[in-house]
Structure 1
Amino acid sequence: MEKLFNLPDLGEGLTESEILSWRVAVGENVELNQIIAEVETAKAVVELPSPFSGVVTRLFEPAGAVVNVGNPIISFDVPATHQIEEPAGQKAQESTAAAKGAAPTRQPTLVGYGAAVESAGRPSRRGRVTAAAVEADPQSESTPKMAAGAVTGAVRARPPVRKLARDSHVDLSTVFGSGEGGLITREDVVKAVSRSLEESADTAPEFGQGHQAADVKPASSNGETRVAVRGVRKATATAMVASAFSAPHVTEFLSVDVTETMELVDRLRAMPRLADVKITITSVVAKAVSLLLARHQGLNSRWDEASGEIIEYHYVNLGIAAATERGLLVPVLKGSQALRLEQVAGEISALTAAARSGSITPAQLSGATFTMSNIGVFGVDSGTPILPPGQSGILAIGQVRKMPWEYRDEVALRKVMTLSLSFDHRVVDGEQGAKFLSELGLILRDPALLIASV
Structure 2
Amino acid sequence: MAQDFRLPDLGEGLPEAELVQWLIAEGDTVTLNQNIAEVETAKAVVELPSPFAGTVGKLHHAAGDTIEVGEVLVTFDTGDEPAAASSAPVAGTAEPEEEKATPNLVGYGAAPRKSARPQRRARVARGGATGATDTAVLEAAPHDAIVETPAERPVERPRSTPPVRKFAKDLGIDLALVEAGGVTGLITRSDVEAYAAHVGVVPAAQPDAAAAASTPAPRDEARVSRTPIRGVRKHTAEAMVRSAFTAPHVSTFHTFDITKTMRLVASLKADRSLEGHRIGVMAVVAKAVCLALGRNPSLNAKWDAEAGEIVEHHYVNLGVAAATDRGLIVPVITDADTLTLVELADAITELAQVARSGRTAPAAMMGGTFSITNFGVFGIEAGTPILNPGEAGILGVGSVQRRPWEHKGKIALRDVMTLSLSFDHRLVDGAEGSRFLVDVAGILQDPGRAMLLR
Q: TM-score, normalised by structure 2?
A: 0.73
Task: Show the counterpart of 1:124.
Answer: 159
Task: Show the counterpart of 1:45.
Answer: 45
Alpha carbons 2:2, 2:75 under 8 Å: kept: yes
Query: What letter corresponds to residue 124 of structure 1 in structure 2?
Result: R
Aligned with 2:181 (options 116, 134, 146):
134
| 1:401–1:57 distance in 2 versus 1, CA, 3 Å | same
Report the Cα offset of residue 145 of structure 1.
Answer: 4.3
Report the Cα offset of residue 329 of structure 1.
Answer: 2.0
Task: Show the counterpart of 2:298.
Answer: 298
Superposed CA deviations along residues 260-311 of structure 1, whole A, max 9, x for unmatched, are 1111111111112112111111110100101111111111111011011111
Partners of 1:116 and 1:422 lie apart in 2 by 45
Partners of 2:258 and 2:329 lie apart in 1 by 27
Report the Cα offset of residue 135 of structure 1.
Answer: 7.8
Which structure 2 residue ranges, 5 or more long, are not aligned?
84-94, 116-153, 166-174, 184-188, 197-216
Report the Cα offset of residue 54 of structure 1.
Answer: 3.5
Task: Show the counterpart of 2:318.
Answer: 318
Task: Show the counterpart of 1:272.
Answer: 272
Task: Show the counterpart of 2:363.
Answer: 363
Report the Cα offset of residue 125 of structure 1.
Answer: 3.0
| 1:67–1:111 distance in 2 versus 1, CA, 3 Å | farther
How many residue pairs are counted as aligned between the two chains?
362
Report the Cα offset of residue 107 of structure 1.
Answer: 9.4
| 1:122–1:419 distance in 2 versus 1, CA, 3 Å | same
Partners of 1:82 and 1:250 lie apart in 2 by 65
Alpha carbons 1:291, 1:337 under 8 Å: kept: yes
Superposed CA deviations along residues 328-380 of structure 1, whole A, max 9, x for unmatched, are 12221111111111111111111111111223322222221100001000010
Which structure 1 residue ranges, 5 or more long, are not aligned?
84-94, 99-105, 137-141, 150-216
Partners of 1:110 and 1:82 lie apart in 2 by 26
- What aligned pairs does 1:333-352 form with structure 2 within 5 A after superposition? 333-352=333-352
Alpha carbons 2:71, 2:182 under 8 Å: kept: no
Query: What letter corresponds to residue 418 of structure 1 in structure 2?
Result: T
Partners of 1:334 and 1:135 lie apart in 2 by 35
Partners of 1:135 and 1:251 lie apart in 2 by 48
Report the Cα offset of residue 382 of structure 1.
Answer: 0.3
From the CA coordinates, give the structure whose radius of gyration is larger.
2
Alpha carbons 2:179, 2:191 under 8 Å: kept: no
Secondary structure of 1:415's match?
strand
Partners of 2:193 and 2:383 lie apart in 1 by 47
Q: TM-score, normalised by structure 1?
A: 0.73
Secondary structure of 1:385's match?
coil
Alpha carbons 2:233, 2:328 under 8 Å: kept: yes
| 1:81–1:229 distance in 2 versus 1, CA, 3 Å | same
Query: What letter corresponds to residue 160 of structure 2 in structure 1?
Result: R
Task: Show the counterpart of 1:329.
Answer: 329
Superposed CA deviations along residues 52-97 of structure 1, whole A, max 9, x for unmatched, are 23343433322111222222222233333499xxxxxxxxxxx99x
Alpha carbons 2:6, 2:73 under 8 Å: kept: yes
Report the Cα offset of residue 385 of structure 1.
Answer: 0.3
Query: What letter corresponds to residue 309 of structure 2 in structure 1?
Result: E
Query: What letter corresponds to residue 299 of structure 1 in structure 2?
Result: L
Task: Show the counterpart of 2:10.
Answer: 10
- What aligned pairs does 1:60-209 form with structure 2 within 5 A after superposition? 60-81=60-81, 109-113=105-109, 121-126=156-161, 127=164, 133-134=180-181, 143-145=190-192
Report the Cα offset of residue 222 of structure 1.
Answer: 4.6
The answer to whether residue 432 in structure 2 is matched with residue 436 in structure 1 is no
Alpha carbons 1:233, 1:327 under 8 Å: kept: yes
Secondary structure of 1:38's match?
strand
Alpha carbons 1:261, 1:445 under 8 Å: kept: yes
Report the Cα offset of residue 110 of structure 1.
Answer: 4.0
Alpha carbons 2:70, 2:182 under 8 Å: kept: no
Partners of 2:28 and 2:345 lie apart in 1 by 47
| 1:54–1:343 distance in 2 versus 1, CA, 3 Å | closer
Report the Cα offset of residue 20 of structure 1.
Answer: 0.7
